[in-house]
A and B are shown apart, each in its own frame.
Chain A
Amino acid sequence: MTDIILAVLRALLFVVIAYSVLMLAALVNILLERRALAVMQDRLGPNRTGWQGTLQSVADAFKMMGKEDFRPALADPVLFTLAPIIVMIGAVGVQLVLPYTNGLTGASLDIGLIFLVAITGFTTLAILVGGWASRNKFSLVGALRSAAQMISYEIPMILGLLVVAMVVGSLNVNVVVAAQAHYQWIAFYAPFTFLIFYIASIAELNRGPFDLPEGESELVAGYVTEYSGMRFGMFYLNEYGGLTVMSMVAVTLFFGGWQGPFSNAIVFWNVSWIGIVYFLIKTYILVFCLIWIRLSIPRLQVDQLMGFAWKVLIPLGLVNILCTAAIMLWAPHWKIAMAVFSWVALIAFIGLFDPILKRRLRKQRERQPVVNV
């Protein structure tokens, strides 16, 4: 009996922690992005509310809560209300298997990686439901774009995760972290895999150059067009909290999670507390990269987005898996061999993809002779 009560309490504690992490991260990320945006765009950004604008996102959240709870007359009442609620499930659920630090994990699942991929799909489900229930054509197009995008980019993401699973030999996220001890981070000897995973994860977040479902210049606001007030706030908070959560996943799987120098120095209640600091530092470096990418690359187009997933990322992911398997089977020092292969692949991809793409684009254009009037 006590076991069950303890398990329930543990689950409740996890939900409270995971939600708090998501909300806090969203508030911090919104401010971070707005200030980073301002710096990169040569303006000031929010700097009036609190010291240097630190309370801006809090003020925004309160403003959103105070707004009228509005629902369009023809919208589906149940689904329209349900969508903002289930949108959080993905970002909260993912944290179940992530070790914040040594000994602080929601549940050490043996199918951690599969759980991780499965639960992130909930976000898209919510977007699809919300877009459909809004009864707005722009929302609908945005929602369908989101679904198509998720289907396409889930595959390269899984292909990236497969390499991790192959290298580590386990699907348990805690084992993945443990396998990266002594600074043998997977990103060091499989950077190409990380690149594939990272690109796919940006697309999963509906961010950066892949923010087509929102597509504010084409679809007004995409799937959130009809949402306002706190319902919109839920989508918004989830999007920004998702930045941190997705970066946490990337750090855990590729950058050694909570590990760092002296990360096990202070341990009480069986938890090494310094690990949290390392985890946060690494996470926020990646979050900043996500913001930076968003600000430097214009949005792709739907067909280009799909083409990039199906014609570039998936074949490369498959080749990557094959080569990794071959190296692990036959190479004597497979980590070194893999590092060589992966870095060469990464540099070749970055060095070749851009010029080839530009050449193809320039070639397909037709010249017209100059006419003097």
Chain B
Amino acid sequence: MFDQFATAEPDEAVKLALRRLDEAKARGEGSNLEGVELNEVVVNMGPQHPSTHGVLRLVCTLDGELIKDVIPVIGYLHRSKEKLAEKRTYFQYIPIVDRTEYLASINCEWGYVLAVEKLMGITPPRRAEFIRVISGELMRIASHLVAVGTFVADLSPLGTAMGFYTFRDRELVLDLLESLTGARMMFNYFRFGGVRYDLPDGWIEKCRLFLKKMPKLVDEYEALCSDNAVFLQRTMGKGVITQQDVMDYGITGPNARASGVALDLRRNKPYSVYPELDFEVVVETHGDVFDRYLCRLREMRECVKIVEQCLDMLPNGPFQTGSLRAPYIIAPPPGAVYVGQENPRGEYGTYIESDGSRYPYRLKFRDPCFCNLQLFPKLLTGIKIADAIAVSGSIDLVLGGIDR
């Protein structure tokens, strides 16, 4: 069946899929469908498929509607960001960190800045810490809005208005961040030992207005989807991540917390002012697609709580260390650090090795999406195409982070 459709020479991934198919046949494993001798088709889902967000490519072996084998292919968004760090000063590299996990760029910057600060031994002033928490949590809301919206849109683009509503409400967050940082997507806002700008006049009131609105918006999403029988049918009991999987594959973030693993670096390895803040680590227990969706919705409510507390507790004082401007050129002492930081998608680790010069000797990111992607072959094998779309949407990948 494959040859009949082939228009071009198969590439490595397709060849691997075909080889595995032949091996399965040699072992005597046939089609799962009764009365059918051979029914397998190798299909490329992506890199231009509508539901593999970004440019993820999945080479699927289909048996009718069943998926028998999945080979994820990455690298279509590779921009060698880690290598670029070796030819740029620490300061010059901040905007490039934005481009790794671009839906949560502020959190990525935070991870990088935390690592450099640890290397240098800088402690930012208290006001800067609060501003960082505020912007980071707002970004988390925006990121979860995209995750939930695109996931529901994957189930059926026009089936509910959810995708449109979440993107409409994400604008509110982006407007706030825009008036704070001057950008909407690639912020370049964090500095070593502080942030770039202080909160503008009237920003706190605007933010409070939004925080008042946000829980109602989440209620609206829940009313749209959480009690919709068809939505429940598509999501409940599908793509279960067991706690063993979480341990084996290093799953972090909402995906792990939906499986009942209360792993949140804001609590487990607290950084910044998180120990002073009162918030709940959202945990769901079933680990299926529905729980991952629910986990994100509930986390948005927690983010609102955190930002509210930060606005209440916001101290006066400088927002950068030392002189008026943060240091442009720094040369940290030789050594290596690893700092894990809780991104919307999980643990975003930054490893920096310094040889004492103005450029990092080596820089490496531990991206949560990359670890979550490893689970794909295990999760998607043996389920239907439609389920696979729901599962991959609920894992919430950002290819900028995976390919780096």
Contact = CB atoms under 8 A, between A and B. Distances in A.
B160 A371 contact: no
Given A73-B7, A367-B285, A368-B285, A361 B161 contact: no
B159 A295 contact: yes
Contacts, number: 138
Contacts of B159: 209, 294-299
B231 A298 contact: yes
Given A43-B164, A368-B287, A138 B384 contact: no
A370 B283 CA distance: 8
Contacts of A297: 156, 159-160, 228, 230
A364 B262 contact: no
Contacts of B324: none
Nearest to B240: A366
Interface string A286-314: 00000000111111111110000000000
Contacts of B260: 367-371
A45 to B, nearest CB: 11
A259 B165 CA distance: 41
B43 A137 contact: yes
B263 A298 contact: no
Interface stretch (B126-134, B296-304, B348-356, B385-393): B385-393
Interface stretch (A96-104, A170-178, A214-222, A323-331): A214-222
Contacts of A215: 386
B49 interface: yes
B261 A373 contact: yes
Interface residues of A, number: 49
B286 A367 contact: yes
Contacts of B5: 74, 135-137
B222 interface: no
Contacts of B389: 217-218
B243 interface: yes
Interface stretch (B84-92, B147-155, B329-337, B369-377): B147-155
A188 B294 CA distance: 41
Interface stretch (A34-42, A108-116, A157-165): A34-42
A372 interface: yes
A43 B262 CA distance: 39
A354 interface: yes
A162 to B, nearest CB: 28
Interface in B29-87: 41, 43, 49-51, 62, 65
Interface string B1-42: 000110100000000000000000000000000000000010
B387 A42 contact: no
Nearest to B65: A302
A302 B234 contact: no
30 contacts: A41-B164, A42-B161, A74-B7, A136-B5, A217-B51, A217-B157, A220-B49, A295-B160, A295-B161, A297-B156, A298-B152, A298-B159, A298-B228, A298-B230, A298-B234, A301-B386, A301-B387, A364-B236, A365-B237, A366-B240, A368-B286, A368-B287, A369-B260, A370-B260, A370-B262, A371-B243, A371-B260, A373-B262, A373-B263, A373-B268
Given A41-B161, A303-B384, A361-B237, 20 more contacts: A43-B164, A43-B168, A136-B5, A141-B65, A211-B156, A216-B157, A218-B385, A298-B155, A298-B159, A298-B234, A300-B234, A302-B65, A302-B386, A354-B229, A358-B229, A364-B236, A367-B285, A368-B243, A368-B259, A373-B262
